[in-house]
Structure 1
Amino acid sequence: MSSIISSTVSDSLSGKLIVLAVTGSIAAVRTVDLARDLIRRGATVHCVMSCAAMEIIHPYALEYASENPVVTRITGRVEHVEFCGVGGRADLLLIAPATANTIGKMACGIDDTPVTTYATTALGSGVPVVVVPAMHEAMYRHPAVLKNLDALRSMGVVVVGPRIEEEKAKIADNTDVVMEAERLLGPGDLAGKKVLVTSGATAEKVDPIRILTNRASGKTGAEIALEARRRGAEVTLVHRGHLGLPLREIFVESAEEMGCAVLAELEGGKYHAMIAAAAVSDYTLAPFAEKIKSGGELTLRLSPTSKIIGAVRSSHPDLKVVGFKAETFLSDDHLVSRARESMEKNRLDIVVANDVGKGGMGTEDNRVLILGRDGTISEVCGRKRMIAKAVIDALVVVLS
């Protein structure tokens, strides 16, 4: 079955072997989906379970999900060494869910279950370890549990924090867990870099109910932010959405709010690059204090908004900036010409150009041309995640 779904979402984990270690939290029922999500990104998954986990989910379920035998006890094959020993087969040990009991044992070097034996071996051999806690909130707040999590972090363990809901520290969403696996096992070519991304449409208030906006969905910007995060960058996304992504988000509505947020973030020169993927409103207006009554003709007086990239360039001339240029119904030659004009005017390092008259606004797919200052032009067609990868590939070259 895994051959059918392998790499159907992406190839970000292709060639990687991940050991999924399951302990005795009720969140163990989520691990079938988690295993499949890892496989959908190209990973090979092997599972190991504690006795407590087997009281919640049967090993057959994880054998089905992973298409590999499940380790439920350590035998003469010394499975923990085979996978997590020096030179072992595993690229990552992912403990999800991790109970308070298992976290405490790992912190103290106790290995009396298959999962903790794998953990001790991985920590001793340098295999990356990710822990995903899941338990009642009262247990998670216990000073000893928090101390043990800090101890694990000091050992290099990555902790993917829980969602606090209904007095429970619920296991993190699969999206967050998979992202951490992709980040740890990815190229890391943006490690140590800070990247600011603007995304989606802004909206100008007409009255307390109505707004002026555009068709941009923000999908490309969100995918770019996620790809930069996968590649090791510290990412801030400025946009009008509320997506709950595993990175820092700043929520704005109008063009003015976005401009102020961007300039405030860039203050101090802590960012290495900005990717201006937002479709910022070109016009705004003085909003009506009360709802405009319907019926009859209406005239609105619009005034131009300030250009964010221009303000950024004035205050941060050395910042690497990726701009976007959207046009309608142009030939590629004319589209490239317009993109080059934008590049020179705003001193952009990269321009991503596309003809939105032919598609791309609000769709899952797009066709773009990526222009570099060295004269290179790359055509990318396909899913927006693929486009995001190409944009980040180009940014890595510029930053290096």
Structure 2
Amino acid sequence: MSSISGTISDSLSGKVIVLAVTGSIAAVRTVDLVRDLIRRGATVHAVISSAAAEIIHPYALEYASGNTVVTRITGRVEHVEFCGVGGRADLLLVAPATANTIGKIACGIDDTPVTTYATTALGSGVPVVVVPAMHEAMYRHPAVLKNLGALRSMGVVVVDPRIEEEKAKIAENRTVVLEVERLLGPGDLAGRRILVTSGATAERVDPIRILTNRASGKTGAEIALEARRRGAEVTLVHRGHLDLPLREIYVESAEEMGYAVLGELDGGGYDAMIAAAAVSDYTLTPSPGKIKSGGEITLRLSPTPKIIGAVRSLHPELKMVGFKAETFLTDEELISRARESMEKNRLDLVVANDVGKGGMGTEENRVLILGREGPRYEVSGKKRAIAKAVIDALAEEFS
């Protein structure tokens, strides 16, 4: 699978992950999970129980990973080779994990290749992630819940299932992968709480129509995900319903975003705010009923309060990252406008870009990231790469 290695990112480059598969029907999802890990640079080795082999053939995982699948422990003592002290594995990922396997790991019983790997990993300090998948009734059993609690007390990371259709379904791949990235990442934002605003807001014209802008929110979402990868606790305030593996607050208008942001920050505990949202500059008093179509209409617009200014006045110690979007300027002019915004709102960093040349609603962008000591760097490419650069700069501010 070298052809797909690192095609999404290098977040797991150089990392060896052992995927331990047990006998849940969710085992059929593991081929895609292996590929998602490889696309981020990981090397994946699989070990499966005999029950899992009745659901997914070892050859499927061998094909997906490019490595021989362990179906039994041999004279090579594979569990020690990978998960022993000084072993090759950086992390053991048990996905899917059945109620049976969860109970055995919690009690130190190792009568399958998977549980033998788990016992060895826990005894050697290798990070372990468990991803449950079973019927909801089984998941709700007091003993299963107790065993999951026991695993957490041992330092095992449990990725909670999705409760749907009376089943505790295996978490989405992106949730599992993000947790792996978080555990194996630099952790330079561990213990930090970060608030991110993202995307366009919308001002109501009538019960049907709105005024908004072209911002997609992709950059803000990627920033929120990158901050979580780096260990932060993240809240994303936006108009989207993305079902991301982090806390999201839905808002529509600029006023709603302002209330949500100030309410969160007034609760205390946040270390930084990244204001990536394209907040409406103007609002209006909406019509209570639908405005009839046909003919000309006049809308009276009034300016919206500036959220970033209100935040700074109330939270002078908060690290703040602002965004400055302009159109058809030279880099020197763009930097000048960004510096004005930085000084006015006492920002620690400003991400500036010329949206007249692209970037709003697109997959790629070019930005200039400025700090108080002068220009930091120029970044071009996918919005995930831009998000990484923004979080790199914020991490430097904390250090």
TM-score by length of 2: 1.00
Determine the C-alpha separation between the residues in 2 that align with 1:193 and 1:120: 32
1:377 to partner: Cα distance:
3.1
Structure 2 residue identity aligned to 1:367: R
Structure-1 residue corresponding to 2:51: 52
Structure-1 residue corresponding to 2:126: 127
Determine the C-alpha separation between the residues in 2 that align with 1:376 and 1:252: 33
1:342 to partner: Cα distance:
0.2
Determine the C-alpha separation between the residues in 1 that align with 2:391 and 2:80: 37
- The within-5 A match list for 1:216-365 is 216-365=215-364
Structure 2 residue identity aligned to 1:126: G
Determine the C-alpha separation between the residues in 1 that align with 2:382 and 2:107: 46
Determine the C-alpha separation between the residues in 2 that align with 1:376 and 1:287: 42
2:194 aligned with 1:195: yes
Structure-2 residue corresponding to 1:10: 9
Structure-2 residue corresponding to 1:77: 76
Structure-2 residue corresponding to 1:26: 25
Report the secondary structure of 1:382's partner residue: strand
Determine the C-alpha separation between the residues in 1 that align with 2:312 and 2:186: 30
8 Å CA contact retained: 2:205, 2:287: yes
- The within-5 A match list for 1:203-214 is 203-214=202-213
1:215 to partner: Cα distance:
0.2
Structure 1 residue identity aligned to 2:259: C
2:21 aligned with 1:40: no
Deviations, residues 30-80 of structure 1 (Å, cap 9, x unaligned): 000000000000000000000000000100000000000000000111000
8 Å CA contact retained: 2:129, 2:158: yes
Determine the C-alpha separation between the residues in 1 that align with 2:201 and 2:32: 35
Deviations, residues 169-210 of structure 1 (Å, cap 9, x unaligned): 110000000000000000000000000000000000000000
Structure 1 residue identity aligned to 2:360: M
Report the secondary structure of 2:187's partner residue: coil
Determine the C-alpha separation between the residues in 2 that align with 1:208 and 1:147: 49
What are the ranges of 5 or more consecutive residues in structure 1 without an aligned counterpart? none
What are the ranges of 5 or more consecutive residues in structure 2 without an aligned counterpart? none
1:269 to partner: Cα distance:
2.9
1:19 to partner: Cα distance:
0.1
- The within-5 A match list for 1:162-173 is 162-173=161-172
Report the secondary structure of 1:47's partner residue: strand
Structure 2 residue identity aligned to 1:74: I
8 Å CA contact retained: 2:98, 2:132: yes
Determine the C-alpha separation between the residues in 2 that align with 1:239 and 1:147: 36
- The within-5 A match list for 1:68-107 is 68-107=67-106
Q: Larger deviation: 113-122 or 368-377?
A: 368-377
1:376 to partner: Cα distance:
2.7
2:174 aligned with 1:175: yes
Q: Which 4+ stretches in 1 moved above 3 angstroms?
A: none
Structure-2 residue corresponding to 1:63: 62
Determine the C-alpha separation between the residues in 2 that align with 1:148 and 1:267: 37
Report the secondary structure of 2:248's partner residue: strand
Structure-1 residue corresponding to 2:154: 155
8 Å CA contact retained: 2:368, 2:375: no
Determine the C-alpha separation between the residues in 1 that align with 2:208 and 2:398: 43
Determine the C-alpha separation between the residues in 1 that align with 2:268 and 2:2: 47
Determine the C-alpha separation between the residues in 1 that align with 2:376 and 2:180: 32
RMSD: 0.5
Deviations, residues 263-312 of structure 1 (Å, cap 9, x unaligned): 00001431000000000000000000000000000000000000000100
Determine the C-alpha separation between the residues in 1 that align with 2:4 and 2:312: 45
Structure-1 residue corresponding to 2:136: 137
Determine the C-alpha separation between the residues in 2 that align with 1:140 and 1:64: 31
Determine the C-alpha separation between the residues in 1 that align with 2:51 and 2:265: 49
Deviations, residues 105-154 of structure 1 (Å, cap 9, x unaligned): 01111000000000000000000000000000110011110110000000
Report the secondary structure of 2:288's partner residue: coil
Structure 2 residue identity aligned to 1:375: G
Determine the C-alpha separation between the residues in 2 that align with 1:124 and 1:399: 34
1:399 to partner: Cα distance:
1.1
Structure-1 residue corresponding to 2:370: 371
Determine the C-alpha separation between the residues in 1 that align with 2:211 and 2:375: 36
